[in-house]
């Protein structure tokens, strides 16, 4: 990949990785970015997406519903006017009372057959323990072959409830972050179409080659809920995935901008995707939804280290008041309240807002947004359906 405007050069990327390696956060990536054509293609795709209108999307929760139901919700969301969907990628649900955890890549393949143009991806895949990066590279390249121009890959550092529970492997944040960045480098090299021999600190391949690649590049987004991951997302990702509270956090935003600056790009070249929990109803409906999402209050400060969803469920029930769970959610049957909440997220820097309802009646929520919220939100935020 040659250095050019708005694209990371090999030298810049290697310099960044060496700096992080010296700080003990990342392994050296000596030579790993050489000839990484997909990095150029992927960033170009992110630039093109950024230039388009802001997007309002919908979350498909594998924790709360079985895969076939999520496919139906995706079909309804596309008809409603949502621009994209993401599905969670989990082995276990976070809480035992959520009750579901279908294999997400099968859900994506199935919903792609039932929809026509809605963008789809994961929010998010951990490409380090449960999913080896070679497996991730092949799976998402294959999805891109089936559904060209419609696939994105959301990535993160994982949670113990998925990674340690399924593999027995887990590590402190510094190692997980290092694995994350190395995995993304390997995925992009495989997407280049080259024969890849990769000798990283954590992953190795010998003459690996993907024979079927998508006709259009797949952007890789990086999920961050703290300053360190926010900076990595700015440096190595095609965009940031975060929650609505972190989106508005000045320290995390500054870290993201530092990462973007270190990469030699402008923030306008990257997507900023945020998840917004909502309730169509009042306190009763909010409390019912919050029962299954108590962990979100301390998800990445505490519960990320738990490997048993039953223990997360029990401790969250004891320690997290329901009112605290939905304190920042838009809870209303007034469509203007929901439209205003979306506008605030766009004003805070989001380019894509993913609507997430914990309610059982997802069809009602989708219908409410289709008929009452999306027209208002697009008008007030100057958002047109893509």
Residues designated catalytic: 90, 159
Element (H, E) at 137: helix 133-146
Cβ atoms of residues 25 and 280 within 8 Å: no
Positive or negative, the Cα torsion across 297, 303, 309, 311?
negative
Half-sphere exposure of 94 (CA within 13 A, CB side): 23
Cβ atoms of residues 191 and 213 within 8 Å: yes
Beta-carbon contacts of 139 under 8 Å, excluding residues fewer than 6 positions away, are 105
Cβ atoms of residues 243 and 17 within 8 Å: no
Report the distance separating Cα 386 and Cα 22, nearest Å: 43
Cβ atoms of residues 82 and 58 within 8 Å: yes
CA-closest candidate to residue 133, choices 73, 220, 75, 54:
220
Distances in whole angstroms, Cα of residue 304 to Cα of each of 164, 225, 244, 301: 11, 12, 18, 7
SS3 content of the chain, % helix, strand, coil (to 5): 50, 15, 35
């Amino acid at each position: 990949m040659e250095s050019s405007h708005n694209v990371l050069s090999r030298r810049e990327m290697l310099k960044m990785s060496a700096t992080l390696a010296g700080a003990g956060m990342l392994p050296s990536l000596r030579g790993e970015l050489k000839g990484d054509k997909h990095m150029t293609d992927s960033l170009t795709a992110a630039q093109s997406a950024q230039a388009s209108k802001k997007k309002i999307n919908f979350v498909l929760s594998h924790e709360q519903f079985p895969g076939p139901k999520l496919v139906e919700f995706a079909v309804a969301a596309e008809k409603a006017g949502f621009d994209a969907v993401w599905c969670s990628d989990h082995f276990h649900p976070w809480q035992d009372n959520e009750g579901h955890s279908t294999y997400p890549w099968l859900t994506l393949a199935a919903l792609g057959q039932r929809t026509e143009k809605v963008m789809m991806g994961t929010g998010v895949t951990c490409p380090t323990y449960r999913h080896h990066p070679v497996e991730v590279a092949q799976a998402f390249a294959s999805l891109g072959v089936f559904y060209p121009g419609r696939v994105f890959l959301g990535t993160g550092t994982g949670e113990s409830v998925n990674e340690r529970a399924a593999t027995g492997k887990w590590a402190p944040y510094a190692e997980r972050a290092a694995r994350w960045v190395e995995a993304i480098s390997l995925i992009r090299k495989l997407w280049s179409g080259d024969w890849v021999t990769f000798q990283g600190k954590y992953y190795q391949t010998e003459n690996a080659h993907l024979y079927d690649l998508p006709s259009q590049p797949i952007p890789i987004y990086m999920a961050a809920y703290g300053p360190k991951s926010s900076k990595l997302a700015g440096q190595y990702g095609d965009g940031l995935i975060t929650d609505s509270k972190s989106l508005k956090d000045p320290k995390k935003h500054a870290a993201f901008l530092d990462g973007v600056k270190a990469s030699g790009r402008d923030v306008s070249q990257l997507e900023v995707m945020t998840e917004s929990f909502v309730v169509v109803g009042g306190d009763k409906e909010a409390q019912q939804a919050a029962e299954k999402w108590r962990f979100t209050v301390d998800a990445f400060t505490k519960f990320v280290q738990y490997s048993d969803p039953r223990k997360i469920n029990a401790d969250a029930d004891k320690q997290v008041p329901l009112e605290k769970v939905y304190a920042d959610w838009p809870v209303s049957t007034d469509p203007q309240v929901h439209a205003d909440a979306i506008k605030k997220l766009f004003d805070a820097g989001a380019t894509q807002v993913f609507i997430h309802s914990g309610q059982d009646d997802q069809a009602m929520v989708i219908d409410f947004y289709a008929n009452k919220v999306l027209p208002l939100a697009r008008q007030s935020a100057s958002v047109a359906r893509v």
